Amino acid sequence: MAEAAAARLITRVVDAQSSRGSASVVLTGGRNGNALLAALAGSRARGAIDWSRIDLWWGDERFLPEGDPERNVTQAHEALLDAVPLDPARVHAMAPSDGAYGGDVEAAAEAYATALAAASRPEDHGPVPSFDVLLLGVGPDTHVASLFPEHPGVRETERTVVGVHGAPKPPPTRVSLTLPAIRAAKEVWLLAAGEDKANAVAMALSGAGELQAPAAGAYGRHRTLWLLDEPAASQLPRDLYPPALS
């Protein structure tokens, strides 16, 4: 799944750069997100991307000190970013807990929302850029980014970025894009590999509400793509199976 997703992403970024001169991608952490980045790092086709003309954002971040091995940005640098010639000014990491805002996660969230708004163009028609691709890993509990079932963040309808307190998955304090920000993306890609994701995938694709299954509320303006391996798709109703898995 990671290799297939990486190949798709290369194509999508190259297409965006060819048509507009640049591309914007929102990265995700976790097992599936990091596997995609590692597959991208190992791809012979990665050189087709002009890495100096891509903006990288994050869907969420663990509110931990700079360089902490559990931070998504730290893991992304290890998996891919240190190996490609990015423009540092176009790598938009969320603030760490020992950064400019100290331990104030709400201030860190507000600062990220401000950065998104500053990058938004008139044609985006909103407070965030129209990302070319926004990547999301789907958790076993159906969470995406750091939007967990029944938590306040998944209920947000106006703010684009929120501080998350008391997350059921450690660490408890996080920064996350909200569903309105996610839905501003041109394309949203949801990644799930492994049998432990099968119930979450089936729930999200079988009519569950977004409060109970946040992944069900994650969709793009032009396209929503679920990228699954066979174990993750194993509990889907047969009529939802793509031909390759039927």
CA distances from 73 to 59, 112, 120, 165 (A): 11, 14, 22, 20
Rounded to an integer, what distance in angstroms lies between the CA atom of residue 114 and that of residue 109? 9
What is the tens place of the pLDDT at every residue in 145-165?
Answer: 999 999 999 999 999 999 999
| Mean pLDDT, the chain, integer | 95
**Domain locations along the chain:** 2-239
Q: What was the pLDDT predicted at 123?
A: 86
Percent of the chain with pLDDT over 70: 97
Give the residue, 159 or 241, on which the prediction is more confident: 159
Q: Is residue 190 predicted with pLDDT exceeding 60? A: yes
What would the 3-class secondary structure string for the chain be?
CHHHHHHHHHHHHHHHHHHHCCEEEEECCHHHHHHHHHHHHCCHHHHHCCHHHEEEEECEEECCCCCCCCCHHHHHHHHCHHHCCCCHHHECCCCCCCCCCCCCHHHHHHHHHHHHHHHCCHHHCCCCCCCCEEEEECCCCCCECCECCCCHHHHCCCCCEEEECCCCCCCCCEEEECHHHHCCCCEEEEEECCHHHHHHHHHHCCCCCCCCCHHHHCCCCCEEEEEECCCCCCCCCHHHCCHHHC
According to the model, what pLDDT value does residue 244 have? Answer: 54
pLDDT at 109: 98
Over pLDDT 90: what percentage of the chain?
Answer: 93
pLDDT tens column, 88-134: 999 999 999 999 999 999 999 999 999 999 999 988 888 999 999 99
Q: What band does 179 get if pLDDT is binned at 50, 70 and 90?
A: very high
d(CA 239, CA 244): 13
Q: Please give the average per-residue pLDDT across 204-232, as a whole number.
A: 96
pLDDT score of 172 more than 50: yes
What integer pLDDT is reported at residue 110 of this predicted model?
A: 98
Q: What CATH number should be reported for the domain whose range is 2-239?
A: 3.40.50.1360
Q: Region 201-221: what's the mean pLDDT? A: 96
Which tops the pLDDT comparison, 98 or 238? 98
Is residue 238 scored above 80 in pLDDT? no
Task: Please check the confidence at residue 246 and state whether its pLDDT lies above 50.
Answer: no
